[in-house]
Structure 1
Amino acid sequence: MIYKESMLRKSGTKTIIAITLAGLLTGCSGMNTRENSGTASHTSDSAPNRPTEKDISAAKKEAAQLSSQILALSGLHGKVTEPGPGFADDNQVERGYYISHDWAIYDLPNDKLKTGMDNLYRSLPQNDWRIVSYAPAKSEARQLQMRAEHTRTHHLVLIEWIKGKSPGDGPGASDTPEIGVTLTSPAYQAPKGTDMNKQH
């Protein structure tokens, strides 16, 4: 089943712009939150072949809970961007949709953020997450990326440690260290009678 993934990009005011993409979890090019270059997306071999029927509000709540779990497992206490989980149509399925949640934790030094990434690498597998990859991005920024799949819900997550602006970065690069998180649900199907136009 193909998932749609959101790419994080930031402005100096901590605005997060979600861009939906499609592709593969394994063997994809690295995502770069600093520069508008490259694409990324993924699939999950273990996800159901047909969308699960789920109420949209319940799906948003589940995504928010998973994001809260990731934050807690990081052990970090910094500032967190505020936007909650978002909704997007999946036109391949009648009443189809998916949920994405893009957020970041910042206002912490890089040594703390490194500890947060180490905590996640150690703790996620103990909490129903399967680490798919953990390596620097294939980009000029070379930010450290972790990709994981939740073994029960089949949500996918991309976690990136952005160390801040470095020599050679483009003008759109972030100058603030952060850990950025992109959480994406599998495709769902809203129950019959759901007015999809009211979800936007």
Structure 2
Amino acid sequence: MKTKLSALVLAVPVALTTLTGCSMTDNISSEVPSAGTSTTRDASDAMEKVSSSIYDLLGVKGKASDSRPTVTDCSGKDTKTYFRILHPWSFVPATASDLDVVMEQLKAELPKDGWEVVQYGPDTSKNKNINLTADNDKKKVSVKIIAMAKDDPPMLSLDLVSGCYKVPDGEEVELF
């Protein structure tokens, strides 16, 4: 369990770094796009809905982790006024062979649901995990999905991250 937790702790910053550069905007920039104005609670609820919509696309039986979105900062912006939402979660399919089915399903179905797949293929790790990165410009969210076929049990790791939100005037970012 310590290894899994350590891997997750290391994966989140990597995912944030990777997703920060995704093209959720029309211009070719590494700047994180604006996601509009929202309270942290409303933005978190919206992110849970986005995660649920991805879960609905999986198309196989299995068990999702029970994780909640969290608030992170927008690099270079006032931490009392600007924030991002990160929602890391995992999915363990009922059978190991379903992992490949899920990745192909997501690759095909995400674009039909407003996502642009910007990267798909094996990573450079010794396990050659299949990675899928997709952006949803309308929702200002990116997702990084990693099929970890050689884990015990085999699973998907999903990291969703929003663009930068600004809290409404007179409010401050609530951390959770």
TM-score after normalising by structure 1: 0.73
Cα 1:60–1:66 shift into 2, 3 Å: same
> d(CA) in 2 for partners of 1:23 and 1:102?
14
Residue 125 of structure 1 is aligned with which of 111, 121, 129?
111
Secondary structure class of the residue paired with 1:134: strand
Cα 1:177–1:49 shift into 2, 3 Å: closer
Instruction: Determine if contact 1:87/1:97 at 8 Å carries over to the other structure.
Output: yes
Higher RCO (CA-CA < 8 Å; seq separation 6+)? 2
In the other structure, the counterpart of 2:139 is 153
In the other structure, the counterpart of 2:166 is 189
Deviation at 1:16, TM superposition (A): 4.8
Which deviates more, 47-56 or 144-153?
47-56
In the other structure, the counterpart of 1:86 is 70
Q: Is the helix fraction higher in 1 or 2? A: 2
TM-score after normalising by structure 2: 0.82
5+ unaligned residues in a row in structure 1: which ranges? 1-8, 26-40, 165-173
Residue 64 of structure 1 is aligned with which of 30, 48, 53?
48
5+ unaligned residues in a row in structure 2: which ranges? 27-31
In the other structure, the counterpart of 2:156 is 179
Residue 110 of structure 1 is aligned with which of 96, 99, 108?
96
> d(CA) in 1 for partners of 2:86 and 2:12?
10
> d(CA) in 1 for partners of 2:109 and 2:21?
23
> What are the Cα deviations for residues 90-117 of structure 1, in whole angstroms up to 9, with x where unaligned?
2522311100000011152221111111
> d(CA) in 1 for partners of 2:40 and 2:93?
32
In the alignment, is residue 42 of structure 1 matched against residue 21 of structure 2?
Answer: yes
Secondary structure class of the residue paired with 1:110: coil
> d(CA) in 2 for partners of 1:43 and 1:156?
7
> d(CA) in 1 for partners of 2:75 and 2:156?
31
Secondary structure class of the residue paired with 2:13: strand
Query: RMSD across aligned C-alpha pairs, in angstroms?
Result: 2.5
> d(CA) in 2 for partners of 1:118 and 1:51?
29
In the other structure, the counterpart of 1:98 is 84
> d(CA) in 2 for partners of 1:72 and 1:93?
34
